[in-house]
Structure 1
Amino acid sequence: MMRVTFTVLSLVLAPCVLADYSSHPKAAQLADELAATGEYTRAEVLDVLRKAQRNPKLIESERKAPERTRTWPEYRSIFMDGSRVANGVRFLRKHYPSLARASAEYGVPKHVIAAIIGVETLYGGYTGPHPVIDSLATQGFDHPTRTPFFFSELKEYFLLCREMGFDPLAQKGSYAGAMGLSQFMPSNYRRLGLDYDGDGRVNLWSPSDAIGSVANYLKNFRGTNTGWRAGEAVAFPVKISSPPEGVAVNQKTPTHTWAALSAHVEELPVTLEATQAVGLLALQTGAEPEYWLALPNFYSILSYNPRTYYAMAVFQVSQAIAAADLAD
């Protein structure tokens, strides 16, 4: 799944353009696929699509998301501010029982879980103003390059609504259709969302459910127990002794071993096994990039949103929350 981050820096969107999506060429395909599941009739699906509103500005926002368009210093400054860190400490303390439980069960540090929720939605302060059906119909039918992904998420959204008893026209979220404090897309809401407060339903607008679901995501996104590694580090800033010719940077997985990179790296603060999987990050800050050595846990964060700047922002916010919590 490609995760799409929602932040409070979303563009101010123009009013929706009325459109009857029930007559879109792909509407019949969606209606047929959902009818085949037995959860909807074709008429029910087309009736919802008839009431969806087209908003081209949603596509513009997705394509101009800050992690796609800004330099690392610009992007970092969005999240590394005093209020986000201070509110992260407050969130940590207010929801300590749920965070401690999730950390114990999944191995994900409390401050990492809090940082993701802080980066995504300001700890639940801004979870998105857009009707999810509008976001997913617009992106799923009209996006110029990512229609297959969003069309699939639109189908998942209909199924989620049936399972959870949601009104498909009533739920609100991001310009990409992500929902709740954790900003899960519908497929991951269905697959990885947890009822962590024990009230019998998965409600990602509930802090407890969002906390447990984020931890579950980081641990199990790629499959059972193949994600977050308890007790291991995330990334280290490094100096490069020579240009790493032929070494790929900013990949989606740790594509190298420490043995392959060790000759290039100076001043690593830990000892790594030669076979340790690692990746090299190059963050553009000016004339010379800022290099980091990334370990597998960095790539667990990256699975949440496959942009290097996003994962690094979450990591650095988590470090700042942890430091502020200890200092206070």
Structure 2
Amino acid sequence: MTLLHTVKPDNIRVIVFILFTCFSYSMAHAQVDQTAVDDFIRNVAYQQKKPLKDVEAIVNQASFQSDIIEKMTRPAEKTMTWERYRNIFMKQERIDAGVDFWKANEKVLNEVSTETGVSVEAIIGIIGVETYFGERMGNHLVLDALYTLAFGYPRRSSFFKAELSKFLELCNNEGLDPLAIRGSYAGAMGYGQFMPSSYLAYAKSYDSETGADLMNEVNDGIASVANYLKVHRWNKGGLVAIKATKDQNAEALAKQKVKPSKTVSYYTQKGYESTNTIDPNTLVSLQKMEMEDGTLEYWFTFKNFYVITRYNHSPLYALAVFQLGEAIKKARETK
């Protein structure tokens, strides 16, 4: 007779549960270097002047999520053509949702835009691309995401260790529960999907009476997105992007940097023309966007386009934000 046969059924279930829990915990932590985790915990406790046991109590509850590593190695911005990427966001239902979001938050959007100089459509475009206007903020526990990437993604381990440290600091400062906050697989949170370091640096409370809550307060989300763009030197009233055409005999150009550094006239001499009238001395960049059939779209992009890429470095992202914001603005005006 085995040992389990001598134990009552209810006790067997308890034993099985305990064994399963221990096994799950072991598997969750088997894929990371525990020595590195322990070193991290000690450093955070020292730097943030927290009791070691308090930091341990949080970090040791994190769980390694292998699917996050897979997602990090295949971001949409690097695997899709512009046409496919654009079609994710430029759907009528998202545009309609943006019109509704603008209407519901018009007062705050107008006040924040006036105060910061950042256009409403830029704010709307970012929140629409990032979280479908707050409806899709992510299902991953931020603690798990940052833990997984800090200790299981060597290529950017230093970055995510720093973000995990900032996350713990943020939760302490704002009284947030680190075991409950959900966000993206990369650890971004709230309406604008701020990483912890950006949350600490740029999050802004709309009413200035309490700490910024980007997970629950849409007004704080709006104010924080605008503040991020303002701090990165958004040009009030400035252009973002204008479509360009390529002459049949235009000179082939290597990939251009996103930050504008050449004049419109420079590109005109190379065989690229704007579809709108622009001062030939204006600094622009020329961005090539690939379509599904292999052809290219050409866009003259301005300083504000570059500012959007400070939020996300992908030119595809910046152009999607721009086009979604413009589409929502146009739909709102025609309703």
TM over 0.5: yes
Structure 2 match to 1:220:
231
| CA shift in 2, pair 1:170/1:268, >3 Å | same
Give a deviation string over 1:220-244, Cα, whole Å, max 9, x none.
13xxxxx210111101110122444
Shift of 1:273: 4.8
Shift of 1:216: 0.5
- Partner SS for 1:228: coil
Structure 2 match to 1:156:
166
How far, CA to CA, are the matches of 2:242 and 2:228 in structure 1?
23
Shift of 1:66: 1.6
Shift of 1:98: 1.1
Give a deviation string over 1:27-76, Cα, whole Å, max 9, x none.
23322332233442222222222110000101211222222211111111
**Which piece of structure 1 moves more, 21-30 or 187-196?**
21-30
| CA shift in 2, pair 1:267/1:292, >3 Å | closer
How far, CA to CA, are the matches of 2:115 and 2:251 in structure 1?
39
Give a deviation string over 1:141-196, Cα, whole Å, max 9, x none.
11142212111111110111111111221211110100001100000000000011
- Is the counterpart of residue 284 in structure 1 residue 294 in structure 2? no
Structure 2 match to 1:224:
none
- Is the counterpart of residue 260 in structure 1 residue 230 in structure 2? no
Query: AA paired with 1:45?
Result: V
| CA shift in 2, pair 1:40/1:21, >3 Å | farther
CA contact (8 A) 2:287 2:299 kept: yes
Structure 2 match to 1:113:
123
- Is the counterpart of residue 326 in structure 1 residue 328 in structure 2? no
How far, CA to CA, are the matches of 1:243 and 1:144 in structure 2?
43
- Partner SS for 1:64: coil
**Which piece of structure 1 moves more, 293-302 or 143-152?**
143-152
Q: 2:184 aligns with which of 159, 165, 174?
A: 174
How far, CA to CA, are the matches of 2:211 and 2:101 in structure 1?
22
Q: Percent identity?
A: 34
Bigger-Rg structure (1/2): 2
Q: 1:97 aligns with which of 63, 82, 107?
A: 107
How far, CA to CA, are the matches of 1:38 and 1:317 in structure 2?
41
TM-score normalised to structure 1 length: 0.88
How far, CA to CA, are the matches of 1:140 and 1:319 in structure 2?
37
**Alignment length (residue pairs):** 307
1:131-142, aligned counterparts within 5 Å? Answer: 131-142=141-152
**Which piece of structure 1 moves more, 134-143 or 43-52?**
43-52
Name the structure with the higher helix share. Answer: 2
CA contact (8 A) 1:20 1:49 kept: no
- Is the counterpart of residue 165 in structure 1 residue 175 in structure 2? yes
Structure 1 match to 2:222:
211
TM-score normalised to structure 2 length: 0.86
CA contact (8 A) 1:31 1:41 kept: no
Question: Which structure 2 segments of 5+ residues have no match?
Answer: 1-23
- Partner SS for 1:145: helix
RMSD (CA atoms): 2.0
CA contact (8 A) 2:206 2:220 kept: yes
CA contact (8 A) 1:22 1:50 kept: no
Consecutive aligned runs of 4 or more in structure 1 exceeding 4 Å deviation? 20-23
| CA shift in 2, pair 1:107/1:54, >3 Å | same
